[in-house]
Amino acid sequence: MRRVLVTGGGTGIGRAIAHAFDDAGDAVTIVGRRPEPLAETAQGRDIACRTVDITDEAQVDALFDQPFDVVVANAGGGGAGKLTKLLLADWNATLAVNLTGTFLTFRAALRTLQQDARLIAIASTAALKGNASVPAYTAAKHGVLGLVRSIALDIAKSGATCNAICPGFTDTDLADTAITGLMTHLDKTRDEAMQMVASGNPQARLITPLEVAATALFLASLEASAINGHALSVSGGEI
């Protein structure tokens, strides 16, 4: 039985990934800053919960009292705003949760690296192209991809792999916030706002968390052992 860690496992993509690995028979641990969503994710399942701020070095290091076979660095987020309006505090916070959190998680994982371990970062299509509306988030996710590619080279001979999944706009609370914002600021109906959010996807829809979770299961599989340092776009053709 593999030991699997999922950061940001209380909601959205993290919850779907945690459930997918649990359904596969793995021993799953989820972490996040808020205990309530973690408990909701684990309800009725044999999933361990730990309240952790992944931007805190000591808290992250303490997670790895035992090694994990699969580590999914999923925690992240960030608001919209043009660069000239972006506050330094918001820039720092966005980099901290997306990039520094991934760095701390993977660094701790590497210190206890298991043979055939799988490190998976949940990045974004924002790691693969620019986005004027979310410059801090885009910069952070580009950094995550650079980190993934560097780690992949470092561990290549060990049998372990490190990859990134880059979803397009996914049907989560983050997408709902974007839709609600468009409804408020542009006086759009929900359907109109949904179409605007989904317009970047040539399939004209949101990605589902289950699709991202299935991709994580594949990258963690034995059959994916030759995939290393890769950014796998799950975006309907956006990238």
Q: What is the DSSP string of 46-75?
A: -EEEEE--TT-HHHHHHHTTS--SEEEE--
CA distance 67 to 111: 9
The one catalytic residue in 20, 137, 169, 216 is 137
CB 161 within 8 A of CB 216: no
**Residues 157, 177: one domain?**
no
Give 103-149 pLDDT, tens digit per residue. Answer: 999 999 999 999 899 999 999 999 999 988 889 999 999 999 999 99
Nearest to 212 by CA among 4, 18, 40: 18
Task: Give pTM, 2 decimals.
Answer: 0.94
Residue 111: count of CB within 10 angstroms of its CB = 10
Is it the case that residue 175 has pLDDT exceeding 80? no
CATH number for the domain that contains residue 56:
3.40.50.720
Whether the pLDDT of residue 150 is over 90: the answer is: yes
Domain count, the chain: 2
Domain of residue 185 covers 171-206
Residue 60 belongs to a domain: yes
Our answer to whether residue 238 is catalytic in this structure is no
239 in any annotated domain:
no
